[in-house]
Structure 1
Amino acid sequence: MANEEMEKEGPIILITNDDSIAAPGIKALVEAVEGLGRVVVVAPDKPQSGMGHAITIGHPLRLQKSFIIPGVEAYTCTGTPVDCVKLAVDKILHRKPDICLSGINHGANHSINVIYSGTMSAAMEAAIESIPSAGFSILDYSMEADFTAAKIYIRKIAGMMLTTKLDKHLLLNVNFPALPPDLIKGIKICRQAYAKYEEDFLERKDPHGKDYYWLTGEFVNFDEGTDTDVWALANDYVSLVPVQFDLTNYELKKKLESSWSL
C-alpha cells in the first residue's frame, strides 16, 4: 500500500487476547479505542491462558471471519495468541498495524506472570516485529468484571502511543486494580516486582483409579519496593511497566567476560 493511501486510511489498531474472542475483555478493549483508527480484531477461538510465547508448528492454522463484535472487522484463529499476531500481519492486514493492543485479560499479569501470559506474549510478538504494543489486564477473573476504569486509561495510553514518537519496539505491561474510576489514584510507571507463585500439585485419582495432578499455588511477593507493579496495584494505582524482549543480563555478561577464562 502506498504511503498516501496509508495516511488516508488512518492508523490501524490490531487487537488480540488470550481469553478468546468471546471474552468480555476484548469487547471492552475494542470499545476503549473506538474512533482512534481502524480496529481489526484477530483472537483465538478458544481460551489460551498461560500459553506464553507458544506457536503452532504441528498442525494447520485456520482463520474464520467473526461477527461476535458488532460493526468490527474480526477474525478467529485456531492457534495461539502469538499465531494470531503473525497471521494478522501477514494474511489479513498485509502490512504492520500502527499499534497492537492485547487484552483486556481477566486476571493479573503483574510481576512474574508476564513470562507465562499469552496476553503479554501476543503484545511481545508485535513488539518483536517493530509494532509498538501493550498488554492490558484487570485484577478480576470474573466474566462480569467492570471494565469502566480500564477503558478510560486504555484510551489515554493508546492515544499517547499513536501520537508520540517512541521506540518501534515499545512494549507495555499495564494492569488495572478492580476498582471504579473514582477510587483509582492514577497511573504509576513501575518496574516488575520480584514475586512468584509458590506452587503445589494436588494429587488425586480419576474414576478409573489413575493418578492425576492439579496445579495450585499461592502468590508470594518477595519485593518490598514501592516502585513495583505489585505495590502500585495494592495501593490503588494502575501499573505500567515498560518491558523488553532482550533477556540478556548485561551486568553479568561484563562480569563473566572479566572473570571467566573460556
Structure 2
Amino acid sequence: MTTDAGPRVLITNDDGIDSPGLAALARCAIDSGMSVVIAAPAKEASGTSAGLTAAEGDTRRVEVEKRELLGLEGIETYAVAAHPGFIVLAACEGGLGVKPDIVLSGINRGANVGRAVVHSGTVGAALTAAVNGVRSMAVSLDVGLTEEPGRHWQTAANVVRELLPVLMAMDKDTVLNVNVPDVPPDTPLKFTWAALAEFGTIRSRVERPEDGVIQTTAVIADGEPAPGTDAALLAQGHVTLTPLNSVTENTTTHRPAL
C-alpha cells in the first residue's frame, strides 16, 4: 500500500491509537489520494484540549513506538506517549518527518459540540495545527454515552471525503469542526453550517464524595439547545459544520484606558 502521491496528511485523535474511528479516518485519507502518516496517543487522552503533557521527568523525552494497524499495514504509524496537541506540534516542527499539509483529527467517539469543544483533545489537536499554519478538520461521531457495538464509523469517513474540498478552500488558520449523526452509510444526510451551542449535549458533573477527592462523571445536559446551533441540528440528524478560529487577539472588545 502506497500513499505518496498527494498532500501529506497527519491522522491523529484523542481516543488512542487503537480506536476504530482513527483507522476509518486514515482509510478515508488514503482512498482520497493523500500521503498518510498516523500518530496518535498510546492510550486515551480525551479531554486534554491542546495540552502538551508528554515528557517524563527532566529528560523531556517522549516515547514513540512504531506500530502497524490491521488493514493499514505499510502505513507510517506511531503510538506516542503524549496528548494529541503535543503530537500535532511535534509533527509541525518536523518531529515525524516532513511537516504535514493537513491534519485530520478523529473520528472522535462522541460529539464535540458547543463551547465545550475547548476541552476536546480532538478539537485541540486541530486548533494546534491551525496555530502552526496547517489546514485542519476535527470530526466526531455522535455515539452518546453508551458503548454499544456497530457504530457507523464509515458514515463519518464518507462525510470527511465529501468535505475535503471544502477544507482545502478555507483559510489555513481556520479549523473545521464536523459532527456526524451515528446512522448507516446509506442514510441521506444534510450538511449544515452551524453556530456553537452555549453548552455541549454532554456535560461533566463534579462531585466531592469525600475529603481529598473530586469525582467527575459525564451526564446528558439539561434543557434544549438553541435553534440553529450545532447541538440542536445534530440532534435533528444534520451533519454540522462549524468553522473555529484558533488563538487570536480580540480586536473588538472595549479597551479601558490604562
Report the Cα offset of residue 152 of structure 1.
1.1
RMSD between superposed Cα atoms in Å: 2.3
CA distance in 2 between counterparts of 1:198 and 1:15 reads 27
Within the candidate set 151, 155, 158, 2:161 is matched to 155
Report the Cα offset of residue 158 of structure 1.
2.0
Within the candidate set 10, 13, 19, 1:17 is matched to 13
CA distance in 2 between counterparts of 1:24 and 1:82 reads 20
Q: Deviations over 1:77-109 (max 9, x none)?
A: 111101111222322223x21211000000111
Question: SS of 1:93's equivalent?
Answer: coil
Look up the equivalent residue of 1:47 and give its one-letter code: E
Percent identity of the aligned residues? 30
- For the 8 Å contact 1:33–1:155, the answer to whether it is kept is yes
Look up the equivalent residue of 2:10 and give its one-letter code: L
Q: Deviations over 1:149-199 (max 9, x none)?
A: 11111111124434x3x3121211101111123444321111111125665
Q: Which has the higher helix share?
A: 1
Alignment of 1:177-216 (within 5 A): 177-196=181-200, 199-204=204-209, 212-216=213-217
Q: Deviations over 1:185-239 (max 9, x none)?
A: 321111111125665334446xxxx7633213442456423x2111210111101
Structure 1, unaligned runs of 5 or more: 1-7
CA distance in 1 between counterparts of 2:193 and 2:166 reads 14
Alignment of 1:30-41 (within 5 A): 30-35=26-31, 36-41=33-38
Structure 2, unaligned runs of 5 or more: none
Look up the equivalent residue of 1:178 and give its one-letter code: D
CA distance in 1 between counterparts of 2:38 and 2:177 reads 19
Structure number, greater radius of gyration: 1
TM, length-normalised to structure 1: 0.83
Pick closer, same or farther for the CA change 1:18–1:261 going to 2, 3 Å: same
Report the Cα offset of residue 114 of structure 1.
0.9
- For the 8 Å contact 1:184–1:237, the answer to whether it is kept is no
Look up the equivalent residue of 2:167 and give its one-letter code: M
Alignment of 1:98-113 (within 5 A): 98-113=101-116
2:66 corresponds in structure 1 to 65
